[in-house]
Structures are given as C-alpha cells and as structure tokens.
Amino acid sequence: MVGPVRPQFVLFGSSIVQLSYSYQHQGWGSILAHLYARKADIVLRGYSGWNSRRALQVLDEIFPKNATEQPSLVIVYFGGNDSLLPHPSGLGQHVPLQEYIENMRKIAVHLKSLSKKTRIIFLSAPPVNEAQIYGNSVPGQRLRTNESCRIYSEACLELCREMDIKAIDLWSALQKRDDWRDVCFTDGVHLTCEGSNIVAKEILKVLKEAEWEPSLHWKSMPTEYAEDSPYDPIGPDGKTNMNICNWTFLETTEWD
C-alpha cells in the first residue's frame, strides 16, 4: 500500500475490461487513468472470457466487505459472453437470460453493501459485427449474434432501472455511428481506439451528470499535491514558477 490514499475506481468485467488498458488501441480504461492521474486510482479487475457466473464465484474475494478502504466507484461489465447462444455440448460461456439477470442483481446487491460512498455504473452488452467475426462461415455455427447482445443489453438496463443503478447502453451508443461496423472493433467483438473513445465519453457523461456528493467527475475532484512550489517549472516570463499539476496533455475539451 502506498500513500496518500486516493479514491479508488475499480473496473470489473470480462475482456472488454481487461483490454481497456490496451496500449495498442488506447483503451477506455487507460483514458480514465490518464484523466484521473493525481485524483483517483483506476484499478483493473478484468478477466477475458468470463461470464456473470464466474464473476459471482470470486465476488467476495475481489470486493471483500471487511476491507479497510472501499472503492468510490465500481464500473461493471458482464453480458457479452453470457449472451452467446448455447453450444450443443452444453459447455462454454452461455448463461440463460433469467440467470444472467439474477447474477447481475447479486453483483449489484453485494457492491451496494460495501459502503455508503461506493457508486456503481453498469455497462450493458455492446453490439458485435458478425461479418467481421465469422466472415463466410456457415450461419448455423454462429454462437455470438448482435440480436442476442441486444436482448442481454436491454435486460441489464431494465435491472438497473429497477435497482436505481447508473447504466450505460453500449449496444445503442456504439451504433449511433453509421460506420460503427467498420471503426469500432478489432475483431468484431473487442474495441478499437474509436470504440474505446465512445465508451470513455459515455462514462464521463454519467459521472458529470450524476448528482453524487462528492462528484466523481475528473474536473471536480481535487488534485493531489496541487499547491504551488518553488520547484515548479519556470514560466514563460522567466521570473515565476508555473503550476502544471492539472495538465493532462490531452485535448481536454474532448473529455469535458
């Protein structure tokens, strides 16, 4: 453990979360980590291939109720793998819709019990580009479909409305672009830089609009060690120091 203790934002989910720190595709997790530098610690708990069943098995380990410090924010994504159609063998990632809903409900209940300060955002299943995934393969062999993603996405959103949890409709958000099939995915499932930009902007929009106290939007949070110092870089006038603690080195208007 290192100090000072900062608010902790945990990203919990399957490959969309694990790959959110992708250096190759400027993942949405890395965007958050950059914007929240000196403000919050972005903690990655992403596990490629997981579904909501697997998540429940380790929920107490990842989010122990007796932890000294509880997260200020948990962003949860499961659903894309759950929505795969059943394999004839009975093996694989498919989780029936009603079980998926109850699994996500249990995850939400557990996270709500951690502390009064812990805020939650659920991400719904994003769309997929079936042509990019399968090419010219036989349709009967296709277990991952955009229609199934839509059904699981809507179920997640409905649960969040019922439980008063902030939710982001990724299935709709990515498809707002006419060229979404061409620009949002590396392989028909996982996100490109453009796809991650959309996810990051949707998350930041929720954080900005949420009436949470304290606010968790990056521009509203205090910056660590923000006081002026004689050791700051020398300003353009050559006579005074320049405090650069809030520089992000990004086009910040894009992330307002």
User: Is 232 an annotated catalytic residue?
Assistant: no
Longest dimension (CA), the chain: 74
Is residue 78 a contact partner of residue 104, using CB atoms and an 8 Å limit? Answer: yes
- The burial of 244, by beta-carbon neighbours within 10 Å (0-12 exposed, 13-18 middle, 19 or more buried), is given as exposed
Annotated active-site residue in 14, 20, 22, 52: 14
**Cis bond upstream, residue 214 (ω within 30):** yes
- 155 in Cβ contact with 95 (< 8 Å): no
Distance CA 28, CA 191 (A): 9
Q: Among 20, 82, 94, 190, which one carries the catalytic annotation?
A: 190
Asked if residues 43 and 10 have their Cβ atoms less than 8 Å apart, the reply is: yes
Establish whether 237 is a catalytic residue. no
- Give the E-state strand segments of the chain in sequence order: 8-13, 41-46, 73-77, 119-123, 166-168
Q: Is 14 a catalytic residue?
A: yes
45 beta partners: 12
* Helical packing angle, 52-62 and 97-112, nearest 10°: 10
Angle subtended at Cα 105 by Cα 59 and Cα 107, rounded to the nearest 5 degrees = 15
The candidate with the shortest Cα–Cα distance to 11, out of 153, 196, 171, is: 196
Phi, psi of 181 (to 5 degrees): -65, -30
Give me the catalytic one of 187, 220, 229, 256: 187
Q: What amino acid positions are annotated as catalytic residues?
A: 14, 187, 190
